Each structure stands twice: as C-alpha cells, then as structure tokens.
Structure 1
C-alpha cells in the first residue's frame, strides 16, 4: 500500500471529539451515608496496611514506641511529632543519607475508600525519596479526608497546585518473580495509617 493511500485512510478515519463525562453524576451515584473510614479500613487492611484510629499525635507516639526500638532512625514530615527528626530540617542532605531510615511519618489530606489509596504531595513528603526509601511508612490522615472513589479524588487534585504527587496504597509488594508474593521488594515493608478521629 502506498504512503498516500495510508495517509488518506488515516485522514478519513479521524475520531470526533467527545465531551468528558459529568463527574457530578458520579458524585450523586456514590453519595453515601456509609462510613468512609470503615470502608477505607477494610480495603486498606486487606491490602496489607495496619490501620489505627487515634485521638491525637500522642496516641500515635505511644503506638510507635511499642513498634520501634529506641535509637532507630525515624523521620517525620509532621512538626507535632517533635521527638523524631523533622524532614524539613534535613532537606539539604543527600538522598543516600536516608537509606538507613527505619520509619518515615507523613501527613495526607486525601484518602480513597474504594481502593485504600492515600494522596501525598511533594510538600507533604518534604523530600521525594522518603516514602519510598525507608523500611516502614506511616501516614496520618483526618477522618473527614476520605472520598468514596478515585474519580472524586482526581476531581479534587485536578486543579490543585503541586509539583509532584503520588497515590500510595499499601506496603511495597510484587509477585513478578515466580508468582510468589514478596513484600518490601522495592519500597517500604509496611504501611501504617493513623486516622485522627
């Protein structure tokens, strides 16, 4: 087939543009009186997360003291957790200096009930590598920060001002190698989610 025939066939079969679907309809369909925290907890727990409902940052500290030995490197992106290294104070350090971080604690202001995902921006991470390089990750989120679906999450972040962001939905895992599930293959071995109620 000649080049001209191919180009003519492509030109003849152009798609017409279509308006994007109305997400307000989706919001109406997924409007629910169900407890989004409960839905999130079920999905996230099934995905390997540890989910805690806590009243304040002191309750988080109590849990972390039980889970982690004294002296391990813990980096926090939350200023209220002042007994840990604050990420904002070590932003100039080389990414390699965080390789021995046992735990990173970050804040999120958006969670998705349908799939257990948490949205983290670069401002919340402080340092992009932190949620991916430490052995364990903890995320703190408010009980009113959940939406039912990813479509609603995208609607919230679509026009937001951020340079980099990521949805995180559990500990790192892969089954690529002989279809055997490996936890922590290329990221944190655990994800703990602290929901402030």
Structure 2
C-alpha cells in the first residue's frame, strides 16, 4: 500500500459521526413579486434587467444596447442568426475577443441577484468570464427566493462545473476605488422572460 493510500485509509477510518443538518425552515421566504425583487437587487449591484416576452424579442435589443460590429457569441440556437453559435467542441483559446456573450441561466436567485450557470449552458467554461459584456436569459418562473432554495435545487443535479454569477465584475480593494471588469465582464444584462 502506498503512503497516499495509507493516509486516505486512515482519514476514512477516522471520520466523525454524522449529525443531522440544522432546521432552516425559518429562513423560508415567499416573495409576493419575485421578479420585481430580483430586478431591484440585480440593478442595485450594477446590472441591468430588460424584460421581454419572448426570446425572439432579444434580437433587436442586442444592437440597441451593445456594439454588434464586434464579436457576439451565444449558446442559444434561437439567436444564431444574430450571434456566432458556440459549442463545447470549440477551442476555448479562440474567445479572447468576445464583446458580448448571450447564454441562458439554469435559474436566478432573488436575494442576491445571482444566476446559476453550469457547463451545459455556458458552451465553454471561459465564456461568462472572458467576454467584455455578459447577457443572460432568465425565465421568470425559474427565479428562486434565497440561496437556501438555490442549494436545495442544485443538490440533486449532476454537473461537472457550475457557478453563481451576480452582476458585472467589480472590486474596490485598490485605494477604495470601484473598478469594473476586474476579473470578468464590464457589464451584465439580464433578459428576463415574463
């Protein structure tokens, strides 16, 4: 037996007994208008929410709000006539010049404005982090109230890579000056489908 296997066996043998999880039912929040709550929180953290009634209504809004003369990519086949359709098979090193990425979220969280993205909706892991501007399609019925609800929802999901993204990338660590696009997109827009 190797030293690695010996250490892992010792760790597994010395696990503490399982204890029941705490009751978190007191944190249950029922929002009377969850879409309005999400919109308020998301715009409060620097994002923009644009309500649309159908996915097709996003197409004309892209040229209104973004520089469409630059590279636009999407994972949504419905938008492939407006933006370059990407898949997991594309070399991720080719995305250094993406101006706008349009992807769909699995769901959104009202309490903090985050969206849950997995590899299956990103096309490539790098897409939501390397683009200059990120647009995410969220359906109103997919919004959950709290992170407790979000974790309950993803607990049984099978995904390789996933992450919560809440608003445009920003930091104020350096001299307390707000810097946008520090480690991700300069702006983030939610297309909220009602």
| TM-score normalised according to structure 1 size | 0.85
- When Rg is computed on C-alpha atoms for both structures, the one with the higher figure is 1
Flag as ranges the 4+ runs of structure 1 deviating above 6 A: none
Aligned to 2:146: 149
Mark the CA change 1:18 to 1:144 in structure 2 (over 3 Å): closer, same or farther: same
Aligned to 2:9: none
- The alignment of Structure 1 onto Structure 2 pairs a total of residues equal to 179
Mark the CA change 1:70 to 1:103 in structure 2 (over 3 Å): closer, same or farther: closer
Q: 2:50 aligns with which of 49, 52, 60?
A: 52
| TM-score normalised according to structure 2 size | 0.86
1:58 Cα deviation from its structure 2 partner: 2.2
Aligned to 1:161: 158
The answer for unaligned runs of 5 or more in structure 2 is 1-15
1:17 Cα deviation from its structure 2 partner: 5.2
Alignment pair present for 1:181 and 2:178: yes
Alignment pair present for 1:18 and 2:19: yes
Alignment pair present for 1:127 and 2:128: no
| CA distance in structure 1 between the partners assigned to 2:75 and 2:89 by the alignment | 14
| CA distance in structure 2 between the partners assigned to 1:49 and 1:175 by the alignment | 17
| CA distance in structure 2 between the partners assigned to 1:18 and 1:189 by the alignment | 44
Q: 2:101 aligns with which of 101, 104, 107?
A: 104
Aligned to 1:41: 39
Aligned to 2:62: 64
Deviations 1:93-131 (A, max 9, x none): 432310100000110121111000100000000100000
Q: Matched residue of 2:101: which SS?
A: strand
Q: Matched residue of 1:141: which SS?
A: strand
Task: Name which of structure 1's ranges 62-71 and 120-129 shifts more when overlaid on structure 2.
Answer: 62-71
Q: Matched residue of 1:187: which SS?
A: coil
1:81 Cα deviation from its structure 2 partner: 0.5
Aligned to 2:112: 115
| CA distance in structure 1 between the partners assigned to 2:45 and 2:68 by the alignment | 28
